[in-house]
Amino acid sequence: MRKSMIAKLMSLVLGAGVLLGSLGAPQAEAADDRYRFDFGSGPVEQGYIGVSASDKYTAKKGYGFNTPENMRNLPASGTGVASDSVQFVTYGTKSTNTFNVDLPPGLYEVDVTLGNTSRSSVAAEGVYQIINMTGNGAVDKFQIPVSDGQLNLLVTEGKAGAMFTLSALDIKLISNKPVTNRTIWIGGDSTVCNYYPLDSSVQAGWGQLLPQFIDPKAFQVRNMASGGQIARGFLNDGQMEAILKYIKPGDYFILQLGINDTNPKNTTTEAQFKEYMREMIRLAKAKGATVILSTPQGRASDFNTSGVHFSENRWYRHSTVALAQEEGVPLVDLNVLSSAYFTSIGPEATLALYMTGDTLHPNRNGARELARIVVEELRRQGMDGF
């Protein structure tokens, strides 16, 4: 059996006293449950292992790029580990142009810091892990089970024409068992997805704010929603594939789509929308997970002359409601629940929960209120763990 990566690192770093990365970089500090990599050709931060684009994986050192000829060193506009980066010249979730690191079997938390990029996704083990990180130096994390002794990771497309860059990885062992914690998986569109920086973005999706209402000891939240998404795309373009790779009994899968499906440019009839959603429900249920359907909230402007917010005829809502009944899955009718809340606070206060000049997309406060409504409804329905 291959020696653990840390034994190799200890031999390289402590035994031989080698300085990793650029000349004069501080000595990397290895620990048997943490692996930290600083990518690019610049100075290496204290406690990190420096990795240049030319560093090829070898079993002896236990890390490196599978095809370094398809990597490139680039500067980045951040500081510390975010001051330089590597670019993945070839990419795609199935690409062999990966950064490989040998790891003992277990469950790991991987903190990712990107370089300069407008929008990039992170893939590992052949599937998406994080969807559409935006902005230079964006930071996010995910849990991943490793059972084959090696993590294979790359940064890939979130937007055609963007550069896909990586500045740093911080990989921490959180369990010796390669099984993910109980997980709430989320599928959706721009009203649900993450925006960056995660803790301070002005715009936010309710899936991004859901962790504020969840006990992190009970669940991890994996938000796989993305802006502009439709049911056909979520099913066929890799997001559902990633969920199905890891979803398990005890997990929840909350699915909210319909806004973009109703746009004529996406050529999705209501009947087609319903069947795409049905297939995702059945695939997740077959893995033993609990599927929860949610209907999208309406626009801030959906008030009638009596001051009542009403948007029940939008976004293929009726098909989502019918599908929940037909497939026997719980429904969060966020459309109706949010309308009741908006009616209670009035048009002016409702508008303040949306982005300026935008009656569809919630701002951070609006996303927080929607997340609160979702959790309160799940708790009311007796969902275990809320």
- Between CA 255 and CA 187 the distance in angstroms is 5
Which residue in 32, 33, 148, 358 is the catalytic one? 358
Tell me if residue 38 is catalytic: no
Report the first-to-last Cα separation within the chain, whole angstroms.
42
Which residue in 83, 190, 311, 339 is the catalytic one? 190
Query: Given the structure tokens 């951040």, which residue do they identify?
Result: 78
- Between CA 117 and CA 164 the distance in angstroms is 6
Is 306:268 a contact under the CB 8 Å cutoff?
A: no
Tell me if residue 84 is catalytic: no
Query: Given the structure tokens 């920086």, which residue do they identify?
Result: 197
264: which residues sit within 8 A by CB, 6+ positions away?
Answer: none
Is 151:86 a contact under the CB 8 Å cutoff?
A: no
Q: E-assigned strands of the chain? A: 34-39, 49-51, 63-65, 71-75, 84-88, 99-102, 106-113, 119-124, 127-134, 139-146, 150-157, 165-166, 168-175, 183-187, 220-223, 252-255, 290-294, 331-332
Residue 292: DSSP 8-state: E
- Between CA 294 and CA 331 the distance in angstroms is 6
Instruction: Give backbone dihedrals phi and psi of 353, rounded to 5 degrees, phi first.
Output: -90, 0
3 state DSSP class of 334: helix
The Cβ of residue 79 has, within 10 Å, a number of other Cβ atoms equal to 9
Is 166:114 a contact under the CB 8 Å cutoff?
A: yes
Both tokens of 276, joined, read 């795409």
Tell me if residue 201 is catalytic: no
Query: What does DSSP say about strands 106-113 and 139-146: parallel, antiparallel, or unpaired?
Result: antiparallel
Tell me the H-state helices in 261-346.
270-286, 317-327, 334-345
Active site residues: 190, 358, 361
